[in-house]
Amino acid sequence: MTRTTFPAVALVAMSATLVAAPHYPDHSIPPACRLNGVWDRVATIQAHKRTPFSGGIQRKMLTNKNFMWAFLESRRDTLPLKTVADTARYYGMSGGAGRYQVVGSKYIEHLDMFVDPKFEGKSLTATCRVEGNTWYHTFLNSDLGDTTLAGRRDSVTEVWRRVE
């Protein structure tokens, strides 16, 4: 190869490599799992059965590295407030927050705060898939402490709709 041919071939080869390599604006998350934004839970899929989410509002907000999740039970305003349990439900909200990361199709939450304190400081791993404005968040029941036979082998998919 002549002295002028080698640099030209090297330049073309490097350019082709750069063009063929995937380019993501944040340099780490493939488009199938870009989650930044605000999401409302709309359904659950378990044992191949999709059930609309009802009973409250669940909202998850994600920035580049952090998430916050909140749950508000519906119909709290109809409680008679005659017992301590009624009062706790009336004023109660639950949720969690922490850091998250996406590695390929894996979504990993690192829990700094959580409705169940035994999970604080732990990480939960799920699979992630986003199609249009729908996020499919799939994990095993056993990851949340379900030790029943079904829980050890059954997966749960939370279906979230992008709000913003």
pLDDT digits (tens, 9 = 90+) for 76-105: 777 788 888 888 878 888 999 999 999 999
Yes or no: say if 123 and 3 are a contact pair by the CB < 8 Å rule.
no
Q: Is residue 24 part of a domain?
A: no
Residue 114 sits in a domain whose CATH number is: 2.40.128.490
Which stretch of DSSP H or E encloses residue 124?
A: strand 123-131
Yes or no: say if 102 and 35 are a contact pair by the CB < 8 Å rule.
yes
CA distance 107 to 33: 8
Q: Is residue 12 part of a domain?
A: no
Give the confidence band of 144 by pLDDT, cuts at 50, 70, 90: low
Q: Is residue 3 part of a domain?
A: no
**Widest Cα–Cα separation across the chain:** 91
Q: Is residue 98 part of a domain?
A: yes
Using alpha carbons, select from 57, 24, 26, 52 the residue that is nearest to residue 39.
Answer: 57
Pairing of strands 49-52, 56-62: unpaired
Average pLDDT, whole number, for the chain?
80
Which stretch of DSSP H or E encloses residue 16?
A: helix 5-20
Q: Is residue 23 part of a domain?
A: no
The pLDDT, as a whole number, for residue 86 is: 80
Q: Is residue 91 part of a domain?
A: yes
CA distance 28 to 10: 27
The pLDDT, as a whole number, for residue 22 is: 42
Give the confidence band of 71 by pLDDT, cuts at 50, 70, 90: very high
